[in-house]
Structures are given as C-alpha cells and as structure tokens.
Amino acid sequence: MRMAHLVTNCSFSPSPAVKTHPKSPNCGHNSIRFQNSKSSSSSLIAKSCSKRSKKLYVTRASASVQAPADKTQTPLTGSQQESAHSSSKPKKVMVIGGDGYCGWATALHLSNKGYEVAIVDNLVRRLFDHQLGLDSLTPIASIQNRIRRWKSLTGKTIQLFIGDICDFEFLSEAFKSFEPDSAVHFGEQRSAPYSMIDRSRAVFTQHNNVIGTLNVLFAMKEFSQECHLVKLGTMGEYGTPNIDIEEGFITITHNGRTDTLPYPKQASSFYHLSKVHDSHNIAFTCKAWGIRATDLNQGVVYGVRTDETAMHEELSNRLDYDGIFGTALNRFCVQAAVGHPLTVYGKGGQTRGYLDIRDTVQCVELAIANPAKPGEFRVFNQFTEQFSVNELAKLVTAAGAKLGLEVQTKSVPNPRVEAEEHYYNAKHSKLSELGLVPHLLSDSLLDSLLNFAVQYKDRVDTAQIMPSVSWKKMGAKTKTLSV
C-alpha cells in the first residue's frame, strides 16, 4: 500500500501544494501486502518504500478558544475551561488514529470544546475491512468528507495528516508543522482477534503498535518536549488476576521490604502484549527523558453516537459487529436486531469493565485538561461498570423483548484462551476524581442502541457474526477470511 503523506484541513477545496518534503524520498513506511493463502509468499509485512512523493497541503486554520489547565487548582472540566478562558489561545491536540472508532468521536468532541485539532491517520483500518470482507453496520463517509462536513456545520477546522506513524520522517514533519500541546494516541491495530489470525497479522500488530508508539515518543522528545501524551491502553493488559486490579501500580511487602511497583501484566493476545510493551516504553521515557504521559487503560467500549457524530449522517461513526473488530455489547445488539442468537463464548462468566463511547471522549478531555507533570507516568483505569458476558446477554434479551424482538442466546465454543469464570474487581476512581460524569448502561440506552441496529439491519452480513479466529489454531500460513 502506497499512501501519500498529506496535510489538509476541513475546507472544501484544499490549496495547492505549498511545500515539499525536504528529506530524501526513502522512508520506513508500513506497506500491507494481502494475498490468497494458497500463495507461498503470502504475507502481511512492513517494508520500505522508495521514491515517494511527499507533499504538504495546507490552508489557514481557524482559531478556536481553549485555555491551558491550571495545575495549581482543582481539576478542570472542558466546559469550565471554555467559559473561564474565552480569550486565550486554543490548545492544540493531535489525535493519532483520528479516523477510527474512538479517535473520530474524540476528534470531533475536542474540536467542539474549543481545542485546535489535527488528525493523523494512515486509513489502514478501512483497508482491513476490504481485506477481510467486513463492513461497518453504519455507512461511514471518507475522512475528507467527514472533515469538510464538520467545517460546514460548525465553522471549525480540523487539520488532516495522512501517513504512517511508523515512518518517523512523516511523523516528524507532522509534529513540527502542528506543534501539539497534547497528543492523543489511538493509532494502533486494536483487535485481539485480528492479531491472532496468523503469524503475519501478529507481526504486523506488534510492529505497528510498538514501533509507532516509540516513534511518537521520539517525536515528542525531539520536537514537542512540553507535549502531554494521552495514550489509549487497555484493561486487557492486567488479565484476570484473583486479586483486585489497581490503577497501574500496586504496593507490596516482600520479605519485610515494601515498594510500589507496576501492576503485574497478564496479556491474553499478541495485541494485548503489544499494549504491555507500549506501557513499559512510555514509563521508561517518562523516567529517562521527562516525558509527561497518561496511560488510559480502557475497558470495552459500546455505543455509536456522541453529540457531535449525531449532527449529520456524514459524521456518523463506525459500528463493528463482526467477530474480529466488534465488541461484545455492540455485537449482541446487532445480533438481536437481525434475529441471530446472541453468541456467548463458552460459559459466559468472562467479566470486564465497560463504558459508553460518550465517556471515552469525556475521559480523554479530562486527561488533557489536567495533564501529567513532566516525568510523570500516570495510569487511569477507564471504564464505568463491570459486567459478565452472561449479564450483558440478559440485559439485551430484556431490552429486545420491550421492542418486540424475540432474542435467544446460545453458547458457542470459546475461540480464545481465557478464564470463563473468575474473580474480577478493578479500581477506577481517578477519572471520577477529575470530574467524570458517567453514562451508565440503562434501559433507555439499550433501547436506543437496539433501535439503531434495527435501522441498519439490512446492512448486516450474517456470515460475519460467528467467530472465525482461533487462538489455538493460528499458524504461520497467511489466512484469507473473506468468502
């Protein structure tokens, strides 16, 4: 995949190129090659590209209003900042991975709150759908049309940098051009099943996630030393230990000596392992270089609408329901809408933290408004409620009955290697202390999500519902999952 490195904004007609990349054309861009599994050379690899045209397309960004957080006062919410500092220069936030599920909602939310926003994305998530024969339940516009529509509705500009953060030359230019005060990092391959399809996807996931994050850290050190990194981690880093899960660190006494150490990690896929390595790299650079960072260990996200994405159909977010990228509650609601039994893996006792996507954007805003100190590595567990898979299935069944849907549940063989019945109690107080007001899972929210799924049920491909990736059966041979 050859992808031009572009910088554009949300105006309807990008200006002509005003600047070319000053460096040599060689780069370390990730190129994806996808072939049929019958080919002996089939692979999904990272390789160098050569003689790429690198152009920067820019137009003048409009100024919004946002004030810096006052570290000496009580935590600020975005609305408090907006009202208290209406004449201040807007803070700049780079949203890496801003075309994705969480990233798009976050970029719009921050722009709406008065931040000056730039999106950095290589659009590879859309490529995954084409490779695997998948599609979002909701039709989603191109990133260019999304940003243009946002401009037309709000008058607010979002800059767009199209390129791969694994290419440090591209990322450097983006940092030098935009000069972010905060970098929100969603730009990773985010699916555990995807990382377990075959060797090539496992390698891609680890390379893309670990090297990409390392590049972000080096870019901050070289070009934006005061920049605050807000990194999306995952609660899956912790696993399911038989003790309470703390927020990032645990104080232990051993042989008469006491210390506070990073909480033990028990990742359960090559994706989760990449996140663990990210956390270690970020913690190290905070200590060695004085990087300021907040690691948001997020639970399972559900929902599709935020105030901003609901403004126009071209701003709609993606909603994945397949067995590779779909999350549990979103999958269940789509399954109920089309009359497919809810697919509970194994015994269904798997318990995790969950949160509404509206709370994802709120948590990111709170982390930005109350940044870490130089050299500080903070960990916040980002979720609002805990549910087992069986509990979610019962909630969806009850909500479906109110809408006249006959919802059934069936247990299917668990494709993952995980405990199906276990203790789970994770702490999550730090974001609440900063002012998080959660949207808890309610009957009205489930009704809304189910009605949304019913609205688009004609777009559902039932062949994509059942799990197709086995943790134990993955191998070195590249697989093709689409029919």
The residues assigned a catalytic role are 234, 271, 275
In whole angstroms, give the CA distance from residue 413 to residue 59. 53
